[in-house]
Amino acid sequence: MPGFIKPQLATLRSKAPSGPDWIHEIKYDGYRIQLHLDHGTAKAFTRNGLNWVKRFSTIAGAFDISGQAIIDGEVVVVHEGRTNFSELQAELARGNQDRLLYYAFDLLWLDGQDIRKAPQLERKAMLQGLFDAYQLEPPVVFSEHVTGDGQQLFEHAAKLHYEGIISKRTDAPYRSERGEAWLKVKTTHKGSFPVVGFIKDPTGVAALYLGKQDGNQLVYMGKVGTGWNRTTSAKIRKALDSVISPKSKLSKPLRKPKATWVEPVFTAEIEYRDLTSEGLLRASSFKGISKK
């Protein structure tokens, strides 16, 4: 068997492809893991080639097969009906494996044969055959796919607050690079959040602290530090300097030593991936600011 194989990566696109030449899978929000199974022994490589098999020993043990296989997939935790990276990190930090699932989506090696040159659809059929032959069950799961209209699947994924989808050419081999054979389309959410504070930089702001009105409570929603240029940063700073407050207006005290607190009279328009398990914005980006 070969050692660690650099993973194939997807290119970001704004719209999913369609037609019979493409299959589409849900994009999982977890850790990319390449499992190497060799007659009862196992390795679990991260996308950077680190062997984390001790952390994922339950998953490795669930692949109870007699021969050899190299499988590409994603370790996840499902929380409230969808994969949640923050919950996965929390589980790993506690050393727990009970909630971990492994979604297998590609097969690179099987019983002495390198099958990376085989078409994508053929590799997935062989992976499905492996699951069927050994009656594999959770925590290992075969990643299902649909053929044809990727945009329709993407729209369903967005409604369910999934991270997005991956579209793959049915006839393409597995290549250890970022290319056009795998495309990813990510969902984003938009919202308006009152600015409750900021971190200064020499000419503007380095980050904004955001809140959300929840009944009569102003709760903390996290911070945003991207999405503006120097000119916009300076304009934001000028606006916020006019409404500086001696203390935070959040309903619950928050220790942020670098914060300059402000009256929550300005609202930031934010794009974000989703919310963390703590209810904070994840992968947020600034889009604009306005006065209430």
Confidence bin at 205 (pLDDT 50/70/90)? very high
- Is the pLDDT at 292 greater than 80? The verdict is no
pLDDT of res. 99: 95
Give the span between the Cα atoms of 83 and 86, in whole angstroms.
Answer: 9
43-63 exposure pattern, b = at least 16 Cβ within 10 A, e = fewer: bbbbeeeeebbebbeebbebb
Q: Which H/E stretch holds residue 3?
A: none
Closest of 137, 149, 51 to residue 102, by C-alpha: 137
Q: For residue range 244-289, list pLDDT tens digits in order.
A: 999 999 999 888 989 999 999 999 999 887 787 788 898 899 999 9
Residue 82 confidence (pLDDT): 84
Cβ neighbours of residue 210 closer than 8 Å, sequence gap 6 or more: 193, 194, 195, 196, 220, 221, 222, 223, 224, 268, 270, 281, 284
Q: What is the per-residue pLDDT across 208-219, written as a single tens digit (0 to 9) for each?
A: 999 999 999 999
For the cut 90, the answer to whether the pLDDT of residue 117 exceeds it is yes
Q: How far is the CA of 189 from the CAs of 2, 180, 208, 235, in angstroms?
A: 41, 26, 18, 25
Task: Give the rounded percent of residues in the chain with a pLDDT score beyond 70.
Answer: 100
Q: What percent of the chain has pLDDT over 90?
A: 80
pLDDT digits (tens, 9 = 90+) for 32-85: 999 999 999 999 999 999 999 999 999 999 999 999 999 999 999 998 888 888
Question: H-type helices in the chain, by residue range?
Answer: 57-62, 85-94, 120-134, 150-159, 230-241
In the chain the domains, ranked by start, together with CATH numbers, are 9-26+150-187 (3.30.1490.70), 29-142 (3.30.470.30), 189-291 (2.40.50.140)
pTM score over 0.85 = no
The CA-based angle 12-150-280, given to 5 degrees, is: 55
